Structure 1
Amino acid sequence: MGAVLPMMANFEFAREYGNSFDINNFIALANANPAAQSISRDLLVGASAIFIWIVNESKKLNMKNMWVVYIGTFLIAFAFSAPFFLFLRERRIIELEKIN
């Protein structure tokens, strides 16, 4: 769901506003009114904080192949990468517990 729903909206945006993904227009529309600004800014702050935690936590747990999560954050959606990271993190913790 975290990948599908945002991508559906992004495809609709591209279809409605041209056959490509115009990031400048996307940002302008994401800040077009106070409600959109509120959601955009909330997501920016929350996603930034969680992304920093993901980077630090993945290094602390010595997690492999984190590039999928990092790139997925920006190319797919934060709603994809955060839950996916939590899944990978839980698997890593279980793996470390078995070793110890």
Structure 2
Amino acid sequence: MSEIRRHWSPTAVAFLVLSVAGLVGTWTFNAFAIVQMRDFIGDLVTSGPAVSSITIDLLVVAITGSVFVIVEARRLGMRFAWLYIVLSGVTAFAFTFPLFLAMRQRRLTALENA
């Protein structure tokens, strides 16, 4: 048990908490969109310039973060990094990116302890 716990630094736990918040927050509104039978993609791009601006902003951040996930995972020898990106399309990048950062922090802690 202490073997598992020692890799969970406070930073890793903080990223994990943010990951769960991202999943719950985004899927709450995704559920509303599904129940209301909304055109999810259409709403993102046709609900005015402010929504379009936020959409472009988040899209660029998600793409940049995805590149970071691949590059950093390779650098640290983390396997299955592509899975974080694939899961972001099914869940949310607000969930998978902090989850990756938590796992990255665990890896860094493990490497420091080795």
Which runs of 5 or more residues in structure 2 are unaligned?
Answer: 1-20
Query: Is it true that 1:48 corresponds to 2:51 in the alignment?
Result: no
Normalised TM-score (structure 2): 0.75
Backbone CA RMSD of aligned residues = 1.4
Query: In 1, distance between residues paired with 2:81 and 2:67?
Result: 13
Normalised TM-score (structure 1): 0.85
Aligned identity (percent) is: 32
- Matched to 1:11, the amino acid is A
- Matched to 1:29, the amino acid is D
Question: How far off its partner does 1:68 sit?
Answer: 4.1
Structural mapping, 1:28-43, within 5 Å: 28-32=42-46, 33-43=48-58
Question: How far off its partner does 1:71 sit?
Answer: 2.4
Query: In 1, distance between residues paired with 2:56 and 2:24?
Result: 22
Query: In 1, distance between residues paired with 2:109 and 2:91?
Result: 27
Which runs of 5 or more residues in structure 1 are unaligned?
Answer: 19-24
Query: In 2, distance between residues paired with 1:50 and 1:68?
Result: 13
Aligned residues: 93
Query: Is it true that 1:4 corresponds to 2:24 in the alignment?
Result: yes
Summarize deviations over 1:35-66 as a string: whole Å, max 9, x none.
11011000001110011111110111011343
Query: In 1, distance between residues paired with 2:81 and 2:53?
Result: 30
